Copies of this chain bind each other. A is one copy, B any other.
Amino acid sequence: MKNAVGREIPAEALAVELKNGRKYEPYQGKGYRDGKYIKKAGPTTKIYENPKESKLLPSIREAVIACGLKDGMTVSFHHHFRDGDYIVNMVMKEIVDLGIKDITIAASSLGSAHDPIADYIEQGIVTGIQTSGIRGRMGDVVSHGKLKTPAILRSHGGRVRAVEEGDVHIDVAFIGAPTSDEYGNARALGGKGDCGVLSYAVPDSEYADKVVVITDTLVPYPNFPPSIHGVNVDYVVKVDEIGNPKKIASAAARMTQNPRDLMMAENTAKVIAACPWFKEGFSFQTGAGGPSLAVNRFLEPFMDEIGGITGPICELQRKGLVGKIIDVQDFDVAAIEDIRTNPNHFEMTASEYANPANKGAFVNKLDFVVLAALEVDIDFNVNVITGSDGVLRGAPGGHPDTAEGAKCCIIVTPLTRGRMATICEKVVTVTTPGDCVDVLVTDYGTAVNPARKDIIAALDAAGIKHVPIKELQEKAYSLVGRPDDLQWEDKVVAILEARDGTILDVVKKIKPYQI
């Protein structure tokens, strides 16, 4: 069955079982579920009616046992520690050592720090992966069909929807926290491994049956105001280190000095300035990457920034160009330092950021979002998950959420990367549907989605040149040639959920290359 972005969704994918009994549908187009209703799930919660001195347990192993973790269960993790995370591997090792099997990992994202999980997949111990990002060895083994069930890949907002709607039920959430008190009130600042905010872990704390906070820095009760509330936490474990601080908080992200990036950034700023939503107090989000972040320097009016935060954004705020910063993830030391002291830098939950099924997330209030892409096709579909070899090595992250929510979604990307065309006829995998993408800015010109006649009119009025996207694709192919078609087997190895829980695309098993 073909979906609204023209992808064939096999029956095998549509038949994948969700915990709440909901049936998968193919993607139906932007805003399909708007105005409909969902019944929120509720966890099963132990009653702690009597006073308890402490929820402290001496080890992760004892917490796994105390939670009653057993075969077939789903465990969850957050990704605020990024490549410095120790939690996933520490917890999974204990689960595996205890002989527990058929485990599904439902993480807000997974990365190259989690290569050891690839072994558990190959051994058939980890049988399900639900995540935004998938990279490194894990992406490799999943792409080669080693995971027992299709991986389910979701946007950050789509994950919160799935948790709240009950598509996935988290049996035990393991939440790494820079600080916690003995009752599980946890914060992202202080201790050895500051990560700024714990936004992505909040739904896990609210919807999992059992919640374990793992910290390397116990602080006196009450650790207030908490990001993770002790009233949702069953156990607290102190370990030596939750992660590698150097990799949790990387050095400050720098504005790009690459002239091509700066040219694209300036052109993007001109597009923004030509749009009717560009006025004092506009709301803005940029990705952390070079050209999209650089757009900030060309924009002068007062704005609010949301989403993943970097030092340069905090810098703009100190200059008076940014009003409030509403933060869901910190990418560098400077951003983490900033939220510690800046009264106009706030943490929000993952649901507040991007959930399509609450009563209005921050992404809905975005005027502009500027995003990157691995590939964009002539229908404006974007791929940020599969490489040119078809292997999983990316993350939809907040890309589909901000693209749908913002009044104007701008993709900034060079026309080619190395010898690959970035603008192509058909992306390998659709991760953000073209009906949510409005403008494409490349180093060879700008294209506007024909559906956005208002933006076309605004650019025309401002004298900003734009071309049909087909011209950009043809230019790209003329420079680096048409890419060979990838070879796939029939087996579905991953499902790309649209943020509303329909199926946007599938990734199939890589076929050994035939010469």
Contacts and interface: CB of A to CB of B under 8 A. Distances in A.
Interface of A: 31-52, 55, 164, 183-184, 211, 220-222, 224-225, 229-234, 281, 304, 324, 326, 346-349, 351-352, 355-362, 364-366, 404-407, 500
A263 B282 CA distance: 62
Contacts of A347: 225
16 contacts: A35-B46, A35-B47, A35-B49, A38-B44, A40-B45, A42-B164, A45-B357, A47-B356, A48-B361, A51-B364, A51-B365, A55-B359, A183-B365, A222-B346, A230-B352, A231-B359
The 3 A-B residue pairs with the shortest CB-CB distance in the complex, in nearest-first order: A40-B42, A34-B49, A231-B358
A360 B346 CA distance: 27
A362 B184 CA distance: 12
A494 B445 CA distance: 74
A209 to B, nearest CB: 9
B231 A49 contact: no
A95 B233 CA distance: 40
Given A49-B364, A231-B361, 8 more contacts: A34-B50, A45-B357, A49-B404, A224-B324, A225-B346, A230-B359, A231-B351, A231-B358
A317 to B, nearest CB: 14
Nearest to A500: B49
B358 A48 contact: yes
Nearest to A166: B42
Contact of A47 (B34, B211, B221): B34
Contacts of A184: 359-360
Contacts of A364: 48-52
Question: What's the dominant secondary structure at chain A's contact region?
Answer: loop
B234 A359 contact: yes
Contacts of A304: 222
A357 B41 contact: no
Nearest to A181: B365
A46 B35 CA distance: 6
Given A324-B224, A346-B225, A405-B51, A45 B231 contact: no
A234 B358 CA distance: 10
B360 A48 contact: yes
Contacts of A233: 359
Contacts of A55: 359-360
Nearest to A359: B48
Most buried by B among A48, A51, A224: A51
Nearest to A160: B231
A37 B45 contact: yes
A33 B49 CA distance: 7
Nearest to A353: B231
Nearest to A231: B358
Nearest to A351: B231
A36 B40 contact: no
A230 B360 contact: yes
Contacts of A500: 47, 49
Contacts of A281: 220
Contact of A326 (B34, B222, B357, B405): B222
A356 B46 CA distance: 10
B36 A47 contact: yes
A45 B230 contact: no
Contact of A346 (B41, B49, B224, B404): B224
Contacts of A31: 49-50
B46 A352 contact: no
A188 to B, nearest CB: 14
A381 B220 CA distance: 35
Contact of A360 (B52, B348, B359): B52
Contacts of A37: 44-47
A279 to B, nearest CB: 14
A190 to B, nearest CB: 14
A222 B355 contact: no
B34 A357 contact: no
A42 B44 contact: no
B45 A356 contact: no
A39 B232 CA distance: 13
A356 B49 contact: yes
A47 B38 contact: yes
Contacts of A358: 45, 47-48, 231-232
A142 to B, nearest CB: 29
A39 B44 contact: yes
A264 to B, nearest CB: 26
Contacts of A39: 42-45
Contacts of A211: 359
Contacts of A222: 304, 324, 326, 346, 362, 365
